[in-house]
A and B are shown apart, each in its own frame.
Chain A
Amino acid sequence: MVEWLAFVLLAVIAVGGSLGMLLTMSMYRAAIFLMASFVALAGLFILLQADLLAAIQVMMNVGGMLVMLLFMVALMMDPGGEMMWDMKRKMGLPGFSALSMSMPRSPPPAEAARPEDRPRTGGSNTDWTCPMHPEVSAPGPGSCPKCSMDLAPRAALQPEAAPAADTDTDTYACPMHPEVQSSAPGQCPKCGMNLVPREAAQEPSATTYTCPMHPDVQSPTPGKCPKCGMDLVLQAELQAPAPAATTYTCPMHPEVQSSTPGKCPKCSMDLVPQEDPQAVAGPTAYTCPMHPEVRSSTPGKCPKCSMDLVPDESAAPMAGHAGMQHGGEGGMHHGGDGAMPRMSPAAHYKMMVDMAMSTALLPWAIAIGVVSALLLSWVLLRATWPLSPTGPNADDVSVVGELLLSRYMIGFEGAAYLILAGVIGAVLLGKREHRR
């Protein structure tokens, strides 16, 4: 009876720990959940009278999960989940706060209509050319297809005569890469196809991707900006807000305001456009995060604990209130507490995608897991397994050790040599990379 009770308890912890690891948003909790699951498995080994294996299971797996946790802290922006928790709370997202977020189900919002007289972003900087071959025109840096020299911005080479290549009526463009344009026929530097003449300049298609920091970088496919490594975003999404006074703000830190897109200095999240042109004045009061009674009209340090003063969110509610008058196109559920900036639906979608911990194929994953568990249990349970009438002999405590030291020693010698080779290889490769 006791064994049944222990089995059920340990089984619940094992399965619950594994599920909890997959559903929580905090990586620390995920590692601890998995440790609990493995320790429960060790308890099951003790129930099965394999005590040595239980000890080995605990030692190997708890240490291994600690290493996993270390890697997650190193590779993730928000390992503890505070940012996600904060965001879920502020934005009033439904669901239990501690659960991780899944990919948004709805498809990305349709791109906002672009203004007809949208000014060409970047002007002459969008045209990179070869110093030797001025007829070569490319939207970004690269190599000249004729002489392999590095391309330079046309404005740098010819400050006065910097024609926007797409306003020429005898422009030649590549059928595959419409952003590649040249005033003379030739080959496309990307694919080698012959350039064909076009009557009128074409706006970049709806599937043009550009870098938020470098608008002259354009590409028909998503990827990374060759200048700064940032992700390319749909050009329409960047230009949807009013070009005049677009402020960019961090979804987590609304007091961070910037007139250019980039990354939040506090949390390195992408700044999103704020659809509120009135919120450019910035906060007027600063307070200490630890001592809210400390107030100052200028940023500085708290006299009590020397922490940096942060803008007081309660002093800048006009941003949120003014933003709420612009209608519900931000896609937020309750409007929050006024401190969250309004975001365009595209930016909101992008943020949700960034914060998601599970893929969009979550229902498929659930189906695969359930079906495989059912299939496996059916296969295992329908067979009649040969059962031994006696249990393990209690006197055979040292048999495993003797086996390890005698018959199976060769395996551990091999493993030791492999580990040695791996360590030496890692050191050598590390030295080589460091030198490079």
Chain B
Amino acid sequence: MSGPPLQAYLLLGAVLFGVGLFGVFSQRGAVMILMSIEIILNAALLNLVAFWRFSAPAEYGAQVFFIVMTTIGAIEMAVGLAIVLMGFRNRGSQYVDRFMDMRG
């Protein structure tokens, strides 16, 4: 194994996680927040694949786990977009700071 060690991939995953977290907290648009959540999910999945490769390469169930998690991520995006769309219909904007008051 002459390539980068496990720690390099873990560090990259941590950095991507931080970028995604920054996006979730800093963005105003709901769609941008959903895309930042995608970044966080992919950072975790990068960690998963790195651990599969370096710690247990014979266990192919980890790859199936990756596929399932990616599918769940796609479904989560669909549900999140549906929520954003309904919120947009109700208050006319996707910016989350308009969601300040709870109304019946």
Contacts and interface: CB of A to CB of B under 8 A. Distances in A.
Interface of A: 1, 3-4, 7, 11, 14-15, 18-19, 21-22, 27, 30-31, 34, 37-38, 41, 44-45, 47-50, 52-53, 56-57, 60-61, 64-65, 67-68, 71-72, 75-76, 221, 223-224, 229, 356-359, 361-362, 364-366, 368-370, 372-374, 376-377, 380-381, 385-388, 390-393, 396, 399-400, 403-404, 407-408, 411, 415, 418-419, 422
Contacts of A30: 32, 35
B70 A60 contact: yes
B45 to A, nearest CB: 8
A11 B50 CA distance: 14
A396 B19 contact: no
A11 B35 CA distance: 19
A76 B94 contact: yes
Contacts of B74: 60, 64
Contacts of B52: 48, 50
20 contacts: A7-B8, A15-B12, A22-B32, A45-B49, A50-B53, A60-B71, A64-B77, A358-B27, A359-B97, A362-B26, A368-B25, A373-B15, A385-B55, A388-B54, A388-B55, A388-B56, A403-B60, A403-B63, A404-B67, A407-B64
Contact of A369 (B12, B22, B31, B85): B22
A105 to B, nearest CB: 14
Nearest to A370: B18
A57 B46 CA distance: 11
Contacts of A359: 25-28, 97
Nearest 6 Cβ contacts at the A-B interface: A373-B18, A369-B22, A3-B3, A365-B26, A365-B25, A376-B14
Interface in B63-98: 63-64, 66-68, 70-71, 73-75, 77-78, 81, 84-85, 88, 91-94, 97
Interface of B: 1-4, 6-23, 25-32, 34-36, 38-39, 42, 46-47, 49-58, 60-61, 63-64, 66-68, 70-71, 73-75, 77-78, 81, 84-85, 88, 91-94, 97, 101
Contacts of A229: 92
B16 A53 contact: no
Given A64-B77, A362-B26, A385-B6, A377 B38 contact: no
A55 B67 CA distance: 11
A422 B26 CA distance: 31
Contacts, number: 219
Given A385-B54, A390-B57, A34 B18 contact: no
Contact of A392 (B58, B78, B101): B58
Most buried by B among A359, A361, A374: A359
Contacts of A358: 26-28
A21 B23 contact: yes
A29 to B, nearest CB: 12
B54 A387 contact: yes
A44 B53 contact: no
A369 B32 CA distance: 16
Contact of A75 (B25, B42, B63, B88): B88
Contacts of A408: 61, 64, 68
Contacts of B63: 50, 52-53, 400, 403
The SS class assigned to the B binding surface is helix
Contacts of B58: 388, 392-393, 396
Contacts of A221: 101
Most buried by A among B15, B91, B92: B15
A37 B20 CA distance: 12
Nearest to B81: A71
Given A30-B32, A358-B27, A377 B15 contact: yes
Contacts of A11: 8, 12
Contacts of A72: 29, 31-32
Given A50-B66, A388-B57, 17 more contacts: A19-B19, A31-B35, A34-B38, A52-B63, A56-B70, A61-B38, A72-B29, A75-B93, A356-B28, A369-B22, A369-B23, A372-B17, A376-B13, A377-B14, A381-B10, A391-B1, A408-B68
Nearest to A54: B49
A357 B27 contact: yes
A7 B4 CA distance: 7
Nearest to A360: B97
A68 B31 contact: yes
B88 to A, nearest CB: 5
